[in-house]
Amino acid sequence: MNSPLDAAVAAALEGRDRAGLLRRRTAWRPTGPVTVERDGREFVNFASNNYLGFTHHPRLLAALRTAVNVGSGAAGLISGHSAVHATAEQAIAEWKSCEAAILLPSGYQANLAVVQTLGAIANNGIEKGGVRFLIDKLAHASLLDAVRLGGHAFRIFPHNGLAKLERLLADAPKEQLQVILTESIFSMDGDAGDLVGLAELKRRHPFVLVVDEAHGSGIYGRHGAGLIDELGVREAVDVTVITLSKALGLAGAAVCGSAGFIQSVENFGRAYIYSTAVPPLTAELATEAVAVCREEPQHRHRVRMLAKRVRGELAAVGLIKFTDQSADSPIIPIVLGEPARALAAAESLRDEGLLVVAVRPPTVPPGTSRLRVTVSAAHTDEQIKQLIAALSLVPSPGTPGEG
């Protein structure tokens, strides 16, 4: 018997396929921090967020072998929160120069919990003017999803468009809590949020500033504490979200802020309250990963040097615009336009033994399908040369071709 669901599923997937946007997972076998294998062939991986090579760091592997507990067995408010979790949260809070931190299973859930908490706080306030979220146009989908799921009022402002943002703040009702959601390093473009500008704006207008530091943590700042730390704007930032799955090489996330706000997440953040606590194993590894960040600065120095080098060489062949000579985030987008063009370029790189993923809508806006190149401190100089040589053969965005 044919189910109505089967017909709906088939139609939805067929539509995606016709548009060149259908996605499928591929089973890769990691063979090292920057290499993967499939069907007996090894590829150099320029698609992961393993910026510091920590997925295979000896100290983390050693901690993995000595860990005792596997699962937490319950939500954090029941019996899932252990001394191991508390130690990890304290280490992360101190690393981020915040009063407290709380672990969650993923960055998506962390952002959801932050928005849920802020919404509940605003609606329980004395004035009860509610909350409005002001979201950078390029902010991660999890932030926008969280606001929409909560049914909150929101406005999207142009990427780093502080002039528009200031007009929105100036016109806001005084009794309404204004919350700005942005990122330190944006996940698809690899550029930085204007955190200094936001800090200056906060001197003129009251608002809550939430910064997702998923792609800045471990790379920037003293001890890898993040771009907020490097720019000296910690006092302007109310809430920070970090993921353990990027530079730290693990899985999970943490929300960092004041002790009062973290307690509020425990009470109002439904994404935290109704989720099983992260495994003690993850918490133990997170403590060690933060320690490695503090004690081994050579990893972040190398990845920033490599990122700058790749940017400069790709700009020389016309694949990217490299106007900011100080830009050194590990995320380097090569915008090619239509999905077919990005897919063809990714396939040609695989033929050369390089894994670079084509990113298409809805992850990025229509007409901006791209190769998203990510570099790691674990890449060798020879692998970087191989990448640049292969990318130099990709038709530049202005060259006629497929798509």
187 included as an active-site residue: yes
The catalytic position among 57, 152, 202, 215 is 215
The total of other beta-carbon atoms located within 10 Å of residue 15's CB is 11
The catalytic position among 81, 96, 246, 299 is 246
212 included as an active-site residue: yes
81 included as an active-site residue: no
Q: Evaluate whether 210 touches 238 at the Cβ level (below 8 Å).
A: yes
Q: Evaluate whether 331 touches 311 at the Cβ level (below 8 Å).
A: no
166 included as an active-site residue: no
184 included as an active-site residue: no
Q: Exposed, middle or buried, 321 (CB in 10 Å: 0-12/13-18/19+)? A: exposed
The catalytic position among 89, 183, 194, 328 is 183
**CB environment 230-247: b (16+ within 10 A), e (fewer):** bbebbebbbbbbbbbbbb
The catalytic position among 140, 152, 223, 299 is 140
How far is it, in rounded angstroms, from Cα 227 to Cα 326?
A: 14
The catalytic position among 189, 194, 212, 213 is 212
Residue 12 in tokens: 């939805």
The catalytic position among 72, 187, 217, 369 is 187
Of residues 143, 65, 73, 71, the one with CA closest to residue 108: 143
The catalytic position among 45, 48, 49, 369 is 49
- Backbone torsions φ then ψ of 233, nearest 5 degrees: -115, 20
Residues involved in catalysis: 49, 140, 183, 187, 212, 215, 246
